[in-house]
Amino acid sequence: MTDSESLLREKLAELRRWERRKRRERLLWESLFYAALTAAAVVAARALTAADAALLWLAPAVFAAAALAVFLLRPWRERAFLGALKGVDDRLELRERVLTASDILSREPAEGGRRPEEELVVEEAAEKLVRVTLPPLLPRPRSWHAWAGAFLVLLAGAGMWLPPGGAPEAVSAASRMAETLREHARELEERARERDLAESRRMAEALSEMAERQLDDPADDESGIEAAVGAMVEVLEDMTRSWPTEAGLEWPVLSDAALEKLREQLQRSRTRQMDGSLQGKSRSEMLESMGLSSLDRQPGNSTEMSEEEIRDFLDRVEREARQEQDRREMASTQQFLTELLPGDAPGESLAEAARPGGPKSEMEESPPAGRQPGNEPGKGGQEPYDPAFQARVRTHLQGLLGQGPSRGFGFRGEARPGESTVTEEAVVVRYQRQVEAELSSAEIPAEFKETIKNYFLSLGVTGRP
Amino acid sequence: MTLEATTEETTTEGVRTRMRDAQRAFEEVKSEMHKAVVGHEELIEGIFIALVCGGHCLLEGVPGLGKTLIVRSLGELMDLSFSRIQFTPDLMPADITGTNVVNEDASGRKVFVFEAGPVFANIVLADEINRATPKTQSALLEAMQDQSVTAGGALHAIPSPFMVLATQNPIEMEGTYPLPEAQVDRFFFKLIVRYPSYDEMARIADLTTAAHSGALAKVLAAESVLEMRAAVRAVPLAAAVRDYAVRLVMATHSETEHSTELARKYVQYGASPRGLQAVILAAKARALLSGRPNVSFEDIRRDLMPSLRHRLLLNLAAEASGIAPEAVLEEVLARVPEVQA
């Protein structure tokens, strides 16, 4: 073998190695492209349907399969090397010198060696290539698979941030309900934390868990969360009905602001009580000093209390004040959950109100009925709202009698400016019903129940508004 | 006649020398020819390549373009014998090949003596070959094929190198006997003699109407032509380049995987293996005369047209559409890739 021949063989081997490497890289990029395409398709399916994101395992499987397929179906062929040889000849303007020399070296020489014409071709090709580095002459081609694959990978990654799709109408209604519930639970927890309301905080946690459960599993339809909310309404109803009081105070009469103020006052009283300044005061005097005389169910109790008794009394009052706040939060939550549940007529639930299209217009609605509390006061000619009365629970009643304090039962609701009237019959009937609810509770001693009942039954209608 | 390659056992330096000599001779021939002939560079190159490849040429052109002058001048500067045969309808085969004539020897005995015809020359110009009868045409074509003449049972060899340049007048075809396709296929090249340009016409006028400038110098010996023929055949050809030539020839057929659109539509019969031989030999000659040791793709393309234009038989649709073989070959050159993917 001549020097020219050995040099040329070395150069051709270098070129062949480079070409095979480029081929391997190209096929791997192609396989990656198909894998990225699969991943993007799975992410798109996840965003549009209820497809499971776990299907992303298909991407590496497709990569492996595609790599195996392309390497088996497109093996290395000498034809590819021909193209490389031609490329070298074109770039060095050798007019197929290298290609012809490679062809000569690939053939077995005849007996007696190669012809001088062939030796000349090999010699001249080697001479041209001795100072040339071949890979830069034939750089890697731009593979559109590489660019497209990288783009698809980014697209798939971005698509994973999108919320999963699914049956749009059913899932989104349930999710909307859950999101509304979660928001309420957050607000409730915030208030409970500020006011140190244990029951409210527990309720907030329970509601939050309920909402998160629904949001984590969007495949669930509305029925699951509706059932949970309905059960929670019943639980709250039981809780708010049977709230004990020991201090003998008419808590429902007190407004929210007054209740808050009372708790602050009790805190200050505790401080005074610790320095002995409240010692010797009676129960009535204590309540009077706190502005709670009107709530006292046992007025006229002038028995002096010892320091310990005062301490206990204040503790009870504070505990009950906190419980009252808790109860009110529970009741408010119960009302919220009741409104959250879809009613018999369309457009009545908060969830439907939160729908992107908004609640349906009044023109589309049938006359309101169901649990929606409080028809607009002041409007005559409508059926009066007749809720189920519950002891110690604020109840909405049609025809608020305006603003200002009132004894007896507080009506929570938006007081609107302007005249509003309610008939005497309505008030009396409502009072009688409320009394019936109270009489059924354990608050009123049994020996007084008959008296109280007879009194209210004796109330007549004078015909005056 | 089959041309035998005679490659000497030489070193690479010897090959370089032969290449240089061939290139120089080619340049000298062209340069010397232009002293007598104006223009016609492609024609002169084509004739020379056919000569060093051992082939014959069919020249097509109207009268008065200098065909006879070119051929005679070529013979003159290469020290080759030249003869011209004017073909007419009454020309007989013996008028071309020669015949036995009765003669008296020294003792007065009557013997047959072979009188060689005009075909016994190194370069034979067969003018208007299509005017002679097929029988007469066959006599010449047989001599072209065998490089010999059989007369009276005796074989008379025609001296080497032997080259026939036959002409056809494309405008006076009435009463002529166009060469059949099988016979046309025997010609290595079909060269078109084009009308000179304005400047060439002016130069022709100056050159031919002034005092005669003198004889052309002999720049190439007959033996050198034979050596060049051997050198042409020895030029290496890579398999990929050979495959390119094969695909080009296959593309001229109407029903192969390489066929082009025009070939499918208008070609009745494509180029034969003789056409492939002509393409490859011409490419080797181009490489040698360009001073390169191997054949390139460009060499294959360079002489494809004269090698194949007379070997395609087009159908009536081509005739009706005015499609010429050149159009088919141009599409073949444009569509067939050098290296198959």
Query: pLDDT of B60-108, one tens digit each?
Result: 988 888 888 888 888 888 888 889 999 998 999 989 988 888 877 788 8
Residue in chain A nearest B236 by alpha carbon: A118
Crossing angle of helices B239-251 and B325-335, in 10° steps, is 140
Q: Give the separation between CA B33 and CA A195, rounded to whole angstroms.
A: 118
Interface contact flag, A120 B16, Cβ < 8 Å: yes
Give A29-32's long-range contacts (Cβ < 8 A, gap of 24+): A29/A143, A29/A145, A29/A146, A29/A149, A30/A66, A30/A70, A30/A143, A30/A145, A31/A63, A31/A66, A31/A67, A31/A70, A32/A63, A32/A145, A32/A146, A32/A149
B7 chain-A contacts, CB cut-off 8 A:
115, 117
List B residues 226-285 in contact with A (Cβ-Cβ < 8 A): 234-241
Interface contact flag, B340 A79, Cβ < 8 Å: yes
Cβ distance B58 to B43 under 8 Å?
A: no
B244 chain-A contacts, CB cut-off 8 A:
none
Residue in chain B nearest A94 by alpha carbon: B296
Tell me, what's the pLDDT at B112? 79
A100 at interface of B, judged by CB pairs closer than 8 A:
yes
- B120-145 burial, b at 16+ Cβ within 10 Å, e below that, comes to bbbbbbbbbbbbbbeebbebbbbbbe
Interface contact flag, A86 B240, Cβ < 8 Å: yes
φ and ψ of B314, to 5 deg:
-90, 160
Interface contact flag, B241 A96, Cβ < 8 Å: yes
Structural domain boundaries in chain B: 1-234, 235-341
Tell me, what's the pLDDT at B11? 85
Q: Which of these ranges, A388-392, A455-459, B12-16, B133-137, has the smallest mean pLDDT?
A: A388-392
Q: Which of these ranges, A48-52, A337-341, A385-389, has the smallest mean pLDDT?
A: A385-389
Is residue A371 predicted with pLDDT exceeding 90?
A: no
Alpha-carbon gap: B292 to the closest alpha carbon of chain A (Å): 9
Q: What is the pTM of this model?
A: 0.62
Q: Which of B11, B239, B338 sits opposite A103 (nearest CB)?
A: B239
Note the pLDDT tens digit of each residue in A207-265. 999 888 888 876 656 677 888 888 888 888 887 775 656 666 777 767 888 888 888 87
Q: Give the separation between CA B242 and CA B88, rounded to whole angstroms.
A: 42
Q: Does residue A422 or residue A77 have the better pLDDT?
A: A77
Question: For the residues A317-338, what does the mean pLDDT come to?
Answer: 87
Please tell me whether residue B138 adopts helix, strand or coil conformation: helix
Interface contact flag, B292 A79, Cβ < 8 Å: no
Report chain A's C-alpha Rg in angstroms.
43
Alpha-carbon gap: B243 to the closest alpha carbon of chain A (Å): 12
**pLDDT tier for residue B7 given thresholds of 50, 70 and 90:** very low
The topology under which CATH files domain B235-341 is Helicase, Ruva Protein; domain 3 (1.10.8)
Q: Which of these ranges, A447-451, B49-53, B170-174, B204-208, has the smallest mean pLDDT?
A: B170-174
A103 chain-B contacts, CB cut-off 8 A:
238-240
The two tokens of residue B78 are 């290469």
Tell me, what's the pLDDT at B219? 83
B298 chain-A contacts, CB cut-off 8 A:
95
A104 at interface of B, judged by CB pairs closer than 8 A:
yes
DSSP A247: S
Q: Does residue B239 or residue A303 have the better pLDDT?
A: B239
**Residues ≥6 apart with Cβ < 8 Å to B204:** B38, B39, B66, B196
Is residue A82 predicted with pLDDT exceeding 80?
A: yes
**pLDDT tier for residue A378 given thresholds of 50, 70 and 90:** very low
Interface contact flag, A100 B237, Cβ < 8 Å: yes
Note the pLDDT tens digit of each residue in A160-205. 777 666 555 555 678 888 888 999 999 999 999 998 888 899 999 9
What average pLDDT does the structure give for chain B? Answer: 87
What average pLDDT does the structure give for chain A? Answer: 75
B340 chain-A contacts, CB cut-off 8 A:
79
**pLDDT tier for residue A394 given thresholds of 50, 70 and 90:** low
Tell me, what's the pLDDT at A235? 85
Is residue A89 predicted with pLDDT exceeding 70?
A: yes
Please tell me whether residue B291 adopts helix, strand or coil conformation: coil
Cβ distance B266 to B317 under 8 Å?
A: yes
For the domain bounded by B1-234, which CATH number is listed?
A: 3.40.50.300
DSSP code per residue over A75-101? ---HHHHHHHHHHHHHHHT-SSHHHHH
Q: Which of A83, A116, A124 sits opposite B14 (nearest CB)?
A: A116
Q: Give the separation between CA A23 and CA A76, rounded to whole angstroms.
A: 8
Tell me, what's the pLDDT at B59? 92
B341 chain-A contacts, CB cut-off 8 A:
79, 83
Q: Does residue A91 or residue A436 have the better pLDDT?
A: A91
DSSP code per residue over A13-66? HHHHHHHHHHHHHHHHHHHHHHHHHHHHHHHHHHHHS---GGGGGHHHHHHHHH
B235 chain-A contacts, CB cut-off 8 A:
117
A97 at interface of B, judged by CB pairs closer than 8 A:
yes
Interface contact flag, A116 B341, Cβ < 8 Å: no
**Nearest in space to A173 (alpha carbons), one of A131, A224, A112, A244:** A224
Residue A21, amino acid: R
Question: For the residues B170-179, what does the mean pLDDT come to?
Answer: 73
The two tokens of residue B136 are 């007469």
Please tell me whether residue B60 adopts helix, strand or coil conformation: strand
Q: Give the separation between CA B38 and CA B290, rounded to whole angstroms.
A: 23
Interface contact flag, B292 A86, Cβ < 8 Å: no
Alpha-carbon gap: A99 to the closest alpha carbon of chain B (Å): 7
Tell me, what's the pLDDT at A293? 74
Cβ distance B287 to B293 under 8 Å?
A: yes
